[in-house]
Structure 1
């Protein structure tokens, strides 16, 4: 496998600065051991005017087969790499991407202690890969690389056999990229997009690949028009991991749009505030509305059902009126993030006595949830399949029976006001449904009637005269028992 990176320069900004960025001296040829062979870095040319660094990966087919035990990994049809002899060791793939990451790890991170100003400098780059598998052909290559800053993307199909043109082209292309980019940015794009074009990986895709993807995709993947395809292929079409990555990328996009840190964006929904008239993020408006409703109800012991990463729990703990706060979520990972957000391991005894995080499903009754003043279901119900709602309804209203229950959910009528939301799409990839105001009121009224609650409705966010608010909230209050019911009790 072979890849070259070239740049041009001037006496004031010599092209050999490339050596500082790659942490590889142009006067030396260096070799590095990898799990599947030997990687070599050398410089075919190194002058002030032009410098080229080459990465050559010599794959050991025997080691490749032994490590893979002769079996395909990553879910691709030909990921088995066959036995000993095939074309795979000679074409750029995830093997080259991994070698790129290992050999140029400092360059990918943008580290350069010798010349700290260099990583932030955009420079004229030319990347050449003579044999690149591209499932989707030259058109897909252009779709992937043109949106991320390359001014010239040349993907020339490689014929199956030049002696027999009637056989047509192979699935390989010769790739030449040209543009003015930061080197770290270019390397991170290659690290992600080489295996994406190949649509195969030589190793099993574990959950930590999501973090790798987001690190390498920082600054370009969240807004890429082919984001879904890139994410799916990079994660070997593992749907659970793909959905997780897409959700986190959407949080990044929303955070950038709002000028916030990612952790400050509510992970329950994918709503963005696009206009100057609404500068306060909707997630923050929702939390404020919930706190106000809990305060009005006089609640002090509160359940946050479906607490996610703990944003609402954190807000509740900041208010001394709430003396006992319990966050419940089915996801152990979300609870782990919530614990880190709350700094439970460093929390003082008085504060830690006020908070509990519990793992549990909201569709099953749970004795631990009984006896509380209030329960909050903030942007939760729309993540359940409709047939599962009766189970949640009974677990909360029939079994736990807090005095007050707050339920917030998107108002689908307001979706037309989101300029970035395509018609017919829900606000979040995991939403199973989104209700109109009428549908929500009908459901809430039926629930209240079945379980002895009164219900009223509160708009959250700007209340549009035509389509209503972006979020709708139902406030359920346990009705006072009748004399007959008191006597029966």
Structure 2
């Protein structure tokens, strides 16, 4: 795979100082999956081009060393796929890794020999002749154009001899602009694997820090930041949620604007309110506060957060001493890893550690460990399931686990018209399978309450719009046997009173 950087800054050979690579020499770097070469096809005072060529070793790519010696494999899990693929020819996360190795100082924006030039925008042309682009040329333009680049993304034909077969999934990308070299390299470092949408290594929580570091100064304001974040973090919902939340906080700290911070289960649209006061809490925070209020009113002391994501609600529950047992459940182990980090489980005093547990479990299957809790929370969870899977969740949670109280929140689809940039009929999160109107949510709550022996109340969270209601819907279901027990003294208590 190949990438070229060209400048016409005078003298153009100063590019060698910025990249810390002499134009008269061939430079070679060992990579986990092959070898990177840096050389200069042309180097004059008028024009200078640096080329990064990456040669991939299929054997080294097939099985590489992970952290602490753990074996990791490429995304092509079957044996032949580890050797027969496009990784050695089309730009991907492998090229990004090579960028960070070969141009480490330039990525940081530091130059011992030309410090002033490192901070100066210079004319640059970057070309990646073969880039796998999931989303086509239009997506490539949408990624680079908002950053000030003039973009030419030419689709490559599937076969030049058979034009009737149409275009392949690859593009010839050329971007031109006047930018700092460090900014250009960081744009490429993030966006090349985003366009490819298939990382060659396991994505761990520390990838969030890498993304925010490379995206400093531009990612928080990029119109496609949600898509960039999700793809860069390999579609791990919990990691993307945490990264977007931190990006939202950066935006708020830079520019006074309506709060659009979010939590693990929301997007910028879902975390904001169109008429919000910047001094007010975000919708994500108000949603958690509403859930905590409902739990406190229920009198619960043992609570399970079903679909806990990165653990935002768990943190609040653990901070409240009334809750003697707090359990977070998620189907994604990566989400539980993020939750553990957020809770700082390894640093908590033993007494606090004894109060909290994290379990992996699928909510559409019965799990005996979930039985007997005072309350369960489904906060922004149900809309992530296919409608056909909802009956399985209902049976597993309300029928089998049967907590005394169930708190459910979900978006109000009617409120979506108040979000700028959300297309008609669109969902607030790309992973949502549906979003209910108030009538649809009320019908579902009434059905499951009747079927499983619960009473229910429904309310809203966030600003109450007179036309479309609140942005979030909240239901509190109380088991009929629990309600009856609370209203009627127990036999044991009556007997004790009679003996007095």
With the shorter chain as reference, the TM-score category is 0.7 to 0.9
Calculate the TM-score normalised by the size of structure 2: 0.72
Structure 1 contact 137–157 (Cα < 8 Å) conserved:
no
Distance 1:308 1:242 in 2: 10
Structure 1 contact 412–436 (Cα < 8 Å) conserved:
yes
Distance 1:186 1:362 in 2: 44
Distance 1:156 1:382 in 2: 36
Which of 181, 186, 189 in structure 2 is aligned with 1:188? 186
Distance 1:443 1:374 in 2: 20
Deviation at 1:367, TM superposition (A): 2.5
Distance 1:242 1:294 in 2: 29
Please say if 1:24 is aligned against 2:21.
Answer: yes
Query: What CA deviation, in whole Å up to 9, does each residue of 1:36-83 have, x standing for no partner?
Result: 556133495476xx67352263859xx6699779xx9869xxx99999
Please say if 1:5 is aligned against 2:2.
Answer: no
Deviation at 1:294, TM superposition (A): 1.5
Question: 1:54 corresponds to which residue?
Answer: 50
Which of 480, 486, 489 in structure 1 is aligned with 2:484? 480
Please say if 1:451 is aligned against 2:452.
Answer: yes
Distance 2:296 2:439 in 1: 27
Correspondences of 1:228-307 after superposition (within 5 Å): 241=235, 254-255=248-249, 258-259=252-253, 265-270=262-267, 271-275=270-274, 277-279=276-278, 280-307=281-308
Query: What CA deviation, in whole Å up to 9, does each residue of 1:354-405 have, x standing for no partner?
Result: 2111221222232322232211111111111222222222222222222221
RMSD: 4.8
In structure 2, the CA distance between the partners of 1:53 and 1:364, relative to structure 1 (3 Å rule), is same
Correspondences of 1:273-422 after superposition (within 5 Å): 273-275=272-274, 277-279=276-278, 280-422=281-423
Distance 2:461 2:155 in 1: 54
Structure 2 contact 137–155 (Cα < 8 Å) conserved:
yes
Query: What CA deviation, in whole Å up to 9, does each residue of 1:102-148 have, x standing for no partner?
Result: 3113323445577777655433334466x556889987765554332
Distance 2:155 2:307 in 1: 51
Question: 1:124 corresponds to which residue?
Answer: 123
Deviation at 1:445, TM superposition (A): 1.5
Calculate the TM-score normalised by the size of structure 1: 0.74
SS at match of 1:208: coil
Q: How many residues align?
A: 457
Deviates more, 1:467-476 or 1:92-101: 92-101
Question: 2:426 corresponds to which residue?
Answer: 425
Question: 2:107 corresponds to which residue?
Answer: 108
Deviation at 1:175, TM superposition (A): 6.6
Deviation at 1:266, TM superposition (A): 0.9
In structure 2, the CA distance between the partners of 1:358 and 1:415, relative to structure 1 (3 Å rule), is same
Question: Unpaired segments of 5 or more residues in structure 2?
Answer: 64-73, 492-500
SS at match of 1:480: helix
Question: 1:149 corresponds to which residue?
Answer: 148
Query: What CA deviation, in whole Å up to 9, does each residue of 1:265-317 have, x standing for no partner?
Result: 31112213254534321110001111111122222221111111110000111
Question: Unpaired segments of 5 or more residues in structure 1?
Answer: none
Deviation at 1:187, TM superposition (A): 1.8
SS at match of 2:146: helix
SS at match of 1:328: strand
